[in-house]
Chains A and B, each alone.
Chain A
Amino acid sequence: MKKLPWLLALLLIGGSLGLAQPRTVRIGFVSTLSGGGAALGIDVRDGFNLALRLQNNQLGGLPAEVLIADDQQNPDVARQAVDRMLKRDRVDFLTGIIFSNVLLAVGEAIFEEKVFYISPNAGPSEYAGEQCNPYFVNVAWQNDNLHEAMGQYVQTRRFENVFLLAPNYPAGRDALTGFKRFFKGRVVAEVYHRLGQLDFSAEIAQIRAARPKAVYAFEPGAMGVNFIKQYAEAGLMREIPLFLPGFSADADVIRAVGRPMVGIYNSSQWALELNNPVNQRFVEEFRRAYGRTPTLYAAQGYDAALLLDAAIRAVGGDLSKKDELRRAMLAGFNSTRGFVRFSPNGYPIQNYYLRQVVQQPNGEIVNRLVGTIFTNHRDAYVEKCRLR
C-alpha cells in the first residue's frame, strides 16, 4: 500500500507532462494528383509542403501532421477520402481541392462536422453568396475574379466582339459569367465543352467560322495545354488574339506549350516578381526545393499554410475556439501577394494583375508583370451572404 502515493504522483506528473506537450494539428489534404488536372494539385501540394517545411513542420506553434489523398478529379473518390479523414482521422482542417465540382460534392459534409475548409483553389460562386458558410475560407480567389479582370482588360482594348470557351462545370460557368460582367461588347458565341476534353478540333472550327475579334478561353490543366497548342497549330494565333486567365498561362503551361504562348496576355492575383519579402522567399525556396518555377497554384498552396499558421498562432493553439479562429483568418495574413484580408463570405479582397508571356533575350519564356487591373477587388456575391 505504500506504493500508492508514488503511483499517484507518477500519474500526476505524467498527466501534467501530457498536458504540457502541445497537441498536433491534423490537416487533411485532398487534391487532384493524377490525370489531366494533376499538375495543379501537385503544385498546390508542393507549395503547401514547402511552407510547412520552412517552419519546421509546425503551424502556429503546433506540430503539424498532413494526410494526403488523391481525389483523381472524381467527386466520388473525394467524398470517400473526406469521410475517412473526418470520421476516422479526426482532422482539424481540410484543404487541397482543385476542382469546383469536387468541392461542391464534399463541402456540406465538411461544414456539418464544423471543420474549417481552407480552399487553395476552387472558389465556386455557390459558396460566395446565399450558401456561404462560416467554415469556408478561400485563400486564392472567387472563381469569377481572374475572368472579371480579363473581361475588364479586353474591354479596355475595345474589341467589338469576343468568342468565349470553357469546360461545362461550375468553375467554367463562373468564369464566363465573370468575364461578361466587365466585358461590354458583343459575345459572338459562348461554347461549353465536356470537362477533361482534350481534342478541340470541333471548337476551333467553330471559332474560325464565327470570325470573332478576340477569343477568351478558360481551360485549366491539360485542357489548356492542348487547346493552346491546337489553336496555334490551326494558325489562329496570328488571326485572332487569344486572351487567357493566369491558370492557362502560368509556368506549367508555358513549359508544355513553349513559343506559341509568347505575347499572350493573362490575369492573375499573383506574379513571380511581386515585390514583398514573403514572395521573394517563396520563389527562391520553391526553385531550390523543386527545381522549377512556381505557378500561381504553388503560391496558393503556400499561402494556405501561411493562413493556417497565422490563425492558429492568433488563438494560441487552442483549436476549440472556432469563432476566434474564423475571425483571425478573415482578419488577414501576410501572403505571397502582400497582406490579404477577407470578405465575410471567406473570399479574399485583393489586387488582380495583368501579365504577358514574353521571351527573354536568353531565350527563356516567362510571364512578365505588366500592370494592375483591379485594386482591393471583392467578389460580386458577398452582398448575398448573410454572414458578417
Chain B
Amino acid sequence: MPPSLFAEQLLNGLQFGLMLFLLAAGLTLVFGIMDMINLAHGSLYMIGAYLTATFVGLLGNFWLAVLLAVLGTALVGMLLELTVLRQLYRRDHLSQVLATFALILIINEGVRMIWGSQPLLLSAPEGLSGPVELLPGFSYSAYRLTLIGVGLLVALLLFWLVNRTRVGMWLRAGASNREMAQVMGVPIRPLFTLLFGVGAGLCAIAGAFLGPILAVQIGMGESILILAFVVIVIGGIGSIKGALVGSLLVGMVDTAGRAFLPLLLSQVAPPEVASNLGPALASILIYLLMAAVLFFRPQGLFPVRT
C-alpha cells in the first residue's frame, strides 16, 4: 500500500472527523446538560447549508455568507428552543424523540416549500478550488485543508469557551449535576437558550463547509446525525473532549473502511461484490467500535457524570 494513499486517507479522516465534531459538540451539550434528545439537530445543519447557499447567491462572497448563515441558524436554533423545545424538558425521552422527529418532518417540508425539492448548488470559494502541494508529488485539495483548519480552530475556541469562561463553568456544572447547578444559582433558562444558539451555529458551520463537498439537499442532516449520535455515545454524553475524540475515531474508521476494505476484498472477490461488502463492513465497523466502547466503558470514553 503506497504511503501517499495512507496519508491522504488520514487527512480525509481528519477532515470528516472534525466536521462530525461540529455536529456532535452541540448535540452532546444539549443531551448532557438538559438531558434532552434532539433529533432535529441535523435539521439545523441543513438550514445552515441552505442559508449559506442562499447568501452566496445573493452576495457572491463565501465567507460573508458563512458568517450570516451561522448567525441566522443560531437565531433559528434559539427560536426553536424558546417556542417548542422548552416545552419538552420535563417530558420523558420518548416524547422528546417523537416531538423532535416531527420537527424533522416539518422542517424538511418547510425547506421544500421555500427552496424547492431540487438540490442547491454551492461551490467552494474560487481561491480554494485547486490543489495544494503538501510534499513534492503529493497534493491535496486546498478546500479540504481549509476544512481541517476551520474544524481545529472551532474546536480550540470551544475548549476555551467551556474550560476558561464563566459560561463554560456553568455548562460543566450543568453537565455533571443539573439539580445542584440549579440550586447554586446557575441561570439555567437563558443558558439553555444560548446553548441552543451555539449548537445551531456549530451545525451551520458544518453545513456551510460540507455543502460544496456534498450537496445542499433536503434530508441531508439525517444520515450524518446518526453518526453524530454514535460519536457522543462513544465519547461520553456531555463531554466536549469525548465528542472530539469520538468524532476523530469515527471519522478515521469510516474513511479507512470505505477506502481500504473494498481494496482488500477485491483481492478475493469480484469488484461488484467487494464494493457492496466494503462499505457495509465499514459501517458495521463503526457500530462494532461503539459496542466495544460500551462494553468496556458503558459511560463512554470521557464520562462527565460520576
The residues of A with any CB-CB pair to B shorter than 8 Å are 33-36, 38-39, 42, 70, 168, 173, 189-194, 198-199, 201-202, 204-206, 208-209, 222, 225-226, 229-230, 232-235, 256, 258, 260
CB neighbours of A230 from chain B (8 A): 141, 213
A259 closest partner in B (C-beta) = B129
Q: Are A202 and B119 in contact (CB under 8 A)?
A: no
State whether the Cβ of B143 lies closer than 8 Å to any Cβ in chain A. Answer: yes
State whether the Cβ of B124 lies closer than 8 Å to any Cβ in chain A. Answer: yes
CB distance from B150 to the nearest CB of A (A): 16
CB neighbours of B2 from chain A (8 A): 209
State whether the Cβ of B217 lies closer than 8 Å to any Cβ in chain A. Answer: yes
Q: Chain A at the B interface: mostly helix, strand, loop or mixed?
A: helix
| Residue of A42, A189, A191, A205 contacting most chain B CB atoms (<10 Å) | A205
Q: Are B272 and A33 in contact (CB under 8 A)?
A: no
State whether the Cβ of B176 lies closer than 8 Å to any Cβ in chain A. Answer: no
CB neighbours of B97 from chain A (8 A): none
Q: How far is the CA of A259 from the CA of B8 in the complex (A)?
A: 25
Q: Are A189 and B266 in contact (CB under 8 A)?
A: yes
Q: Are A206 and B5 in contact (CB under 8 A)?
A: yes
CB distance from A363 to the nearest CB of B (A): 15
Q: Are B119 and A35 in contact (CB under 8 A)?
A: yes
Q: How far is the CA of A229 from the CA of B129 in the complex (A)?
A: 8
CB distance from A205 to the nearest CB of B (A): 4
Contact partner, B217, options A35, A189, A206, A260, Cβ 8 Å: A35
State whether the Cβ of B54 lies closer than 8 Å to any Cβ in chain A. Answer: no
A201 closest partner in B (C-beta) = B12
Q: Are B258 and A233 in contact (CB under 8 A)?
A: no
B263 closest partner in A (C-beta) = A206
Contact partner, A192, options B118, B123, B130, B272, Cβ 8 Å: B272
Q: Are A233 and B142 in contact (CB under 8 A)?
A: yes
A192 closest partner in B (C-beta) = B275
Contact partner, A233, options B129, B272, B276, Cβ 8 Å: B129
B residues 126-162 near A (Cβ < 8 Å) are 129-131, 133, 139-144
Q: How far is the CA of A302 from the CA of B9 in the complex (A)?
A: 44
State whether the Cβ of B202 lies closer than 8 Å to any Cβ in chain A. Answer: no
Inter-chain pairs besides A226-B214, A235-B133, 15 sampled, C-beta below 8 Å: A35-B217, A38-B119, A39-B118, A42-B118, A168-B276, A199-B214, A201-B12, A201-B15, A201-B255, A205-B8, A230-B141, A232-B129, A233-B143, A234-B139, A235-B139
CB neighbours of B123 from chain A (8 A): 229, 258
B residues 24-61 near A (Cβ < 8 Å) are none
A211 closest partner in B (C-beta) = B2
CB neighbours of B194 from chain A (8 A): none
State whether the Cβ of B279 lies closer than 8 Å to any Cβ in chain A. Answer: yes
Contact partner, B124, options A34, A225, A233, Cβ 8 Å: A233
| Contact A191 to B262, CB < 8 A, known contacts A168-B275, A206-B5 | yes
State whether the Cβ of B182 lies closer than 8 Å to any Cβ in chain A. Answer: no
CB neighbours of A38 from chain B (8 A): 117-119
CB neighbours of B218 from chain A (8 A): 34-35
Contact partner, A36, options B15, B124, B217, Cβ 8 Å: B217
9 closest A-B pairs by beta carbon, nearest first, are A235-B131, A34-B117, A209-B5, A192-B275, A202-B259, A233-B141, A205-B8, A201-B12, A235-B139
CB distance from B270 to the nearest CB of A (A): 9
CB neighbours of A35 from chain B (8 A): 117, 119, 217-218
Q: How far is the CA of A226 from the CA of B139 in the complex (A)?
A: 19
A33 closest partner in B (C-beta) = B117
Interface string of B267-278 (1 = CB under 8 A from A): 000011001100
- The contact sample of 28 A-B pairs, CB cut-off 8 A, is A33-B117, A34-B112, A35-B119, A36-B119, A36-B215, A38-B118, A38-B119, A70-B117, A189-B271, A191-B262, A192-B276, A193-B275, A198-B213, A198-B214, A201-B144, A202-B258, A202-B259, A205-B259, A209-B4, A222-B119, A222-B217, A226-B214, A233-B129, A233-B131, A233-B143, A233-B144, A235-B140, A258-B123
CB distance from B226 to the nearest CB of A (A): 15
Q: How far is the CA of A18 from the CA of B16 in the complex (A)?
A: 66
A255 closest partner in B (C-beta) = B121
A203 closest partner in B (C-beta) = B259
CB neighbours of B16 from chain A (8 A): 199, 201
Q: How far is the CA of A202 from the CA of B4 in the complex (A)?
A: 12
Interface string of B63-87 (1 = CB under 8 A from A): 0000000000000000000000000
CB neighbours of B140 from chain A (8 A): 234-235
Q: How far is the CA of A70 from the CA of B116 in the complex (A)?
A: 13
CB neighbours of A191 from chain B (8 A): 262, 271, 275
Q: Are B255 and A226 in contact (CB under 8 A)?
A: no
CB distance from B45 to the nearest CB of A (A): 14
CB distance from B303 to the nearest CB of A (A): 32
CB distance from B239 to the nearest CB of A (A): 27
Q: How far is the CA of A192 from the CA of B212 in the complex (A)?
A: 23
Q: Are B12 and A34 in contact (CB under 8 A)?
A: no
CB distance from B25 to the nearest CB of A (A): 21
CB neighbours of B124 from chain A (8 A): 229, 233
B residues 108-126 near A (Cβ < 8 Å) are 112, 117-119, 121, 123-124
Q: How far is the CA of A151 from the CA of B263 in the complex (A)?
A: 24
CB neighbours of A189 from chain B (8 A): 266, 271
Interface string of B206-236 (1 = CB under 8 A from A): 0000001111011000000000000000000
Q: How far is the CA of A194 from the CA of B213 in the complex (A)?
A: 16
Q: How far is the CA of A222 from the CA of B119 in the complex (A)?
A: 8
Q: How far is the CA of A370 from the CA of B202 in the complex (A)?
A: 49
B282 closest partner in A (C-beta) = A202
CB distance from A38 to the nearest CB of B (A): 5
CB neighbours of B133 from chain A (8 A): 235
CB neighbours of A235 from chain B (8 A): 130-131, 133, 139-141
CB neighbours of A229 from chain B (8 A): 123-124, 129, 212
Contact partner, A234, options B9, B15, B131, B258, Cβ 8 Å: B131
Contact partner, A173, options B5, B9, B272, Cβ 8 Å: B272
CB neighbours of A36 from chain B (8 A): 119, 215, 217
